Amino acid sequence: MLDRLRRLASQAGPDRIHELLQQSDPVAAARWRDATSDAGRYLLGLAKWDERIGYLFEREADIRSAIERVGFWEECVEWRIATESTNRVERDGSTYRVSTECDGTYAATVRSVPLALEAGQVLFGLRRDLFYEVGWASWREESVEHEIRKPYLARISREAMHAHRNGGTAITRTTVDWLDEPGYEVVVERGCLSMTCVSPTLERARQYAGIFEAVESDITRILGWC
């Protein structure tokens, strides 16, 4: 159905599709608007599985087997020279905690292994893309050379400094061994999502807090893990 709507949109335009859906099914209209937004295109693109389907089944089987044996599955992925992310799925009662760690921790608690696969792929891709878009959270803001690769991330990064902090956001002074002075720990939680990092300046911490808030809101609305 979504593919048919996209083909029609290429002929009539997405605004026309939204108008037609709004008249008959407001809920479907909202989903269409989200799917065709910059956030929807980016997040749904990250969630798309591009490998062969057999590998997907193998990966799910590996995760289930590891969880049955030791309670968690973990891998280290080198996605840039000398840069690794640690990806993990851990059973927590009837749910699964998914996390990726590299200059911060991005995590989600989901209901099933298939959702854990999707969450792990999206969170890992987000961490990788944010590096190329705005640099590490642990860099000083003035050292970052901004390069637009993903329009969605570019937009929320620009808006982040002016974002209204929500109730699930905390920025606190902290001591870390890689700084000669205290830094700032950022923790942003929304429903089943949690994103944390440490930045050397308050300005950089506020930027990443705004990015996390926007991403968590969009993931909750578009991907519906929570």
Out of 1-5, 57-61, 113-117, 201-205, least confident range: 1-5
Structure tokens at 153: 């991330």
Please report where in the chains the tokens 């956001």 appear, as a residue. Answer: 169
Q: Does residue 35 contact residue 89 with C-beta atoms inside 8 Å?
A: no
Residue 102 has pLDDT above 80, yes or no: yes
- Give the start-end residues of each E strand in 20-115: 72-80, 83-92, 95-101, 105-110
* Its pTM surpasses 0.95: no
Residue 23 has pLDDT above 50, yes or no: no
Out of 55-64, 90-99, 147-156, 196-205, least confident range: 147-156
Q: How confident is the model at residue 164 (pLDDT cuts 50, 70, 90)?
A: low
Cα 111 to Cα 31, 62, 65, 73, 127, distances in angstroms: 22, 18, 17, 16, 22
DSSP string spanning 26-53? Answer: HHHHHHHHHHHSHHHHHHHHHHS--S-H
Cα 93 to Cα 67, 89, 97, 201, distances in angstroms: 12, 13, 10, 38
Please report where in the chains the tokens 């080198």 appear, as a residue. Answer: 78
pLDDT at residue 33, rounded to an integer = 79
β 183-190/193-199 pair status: antiparallel
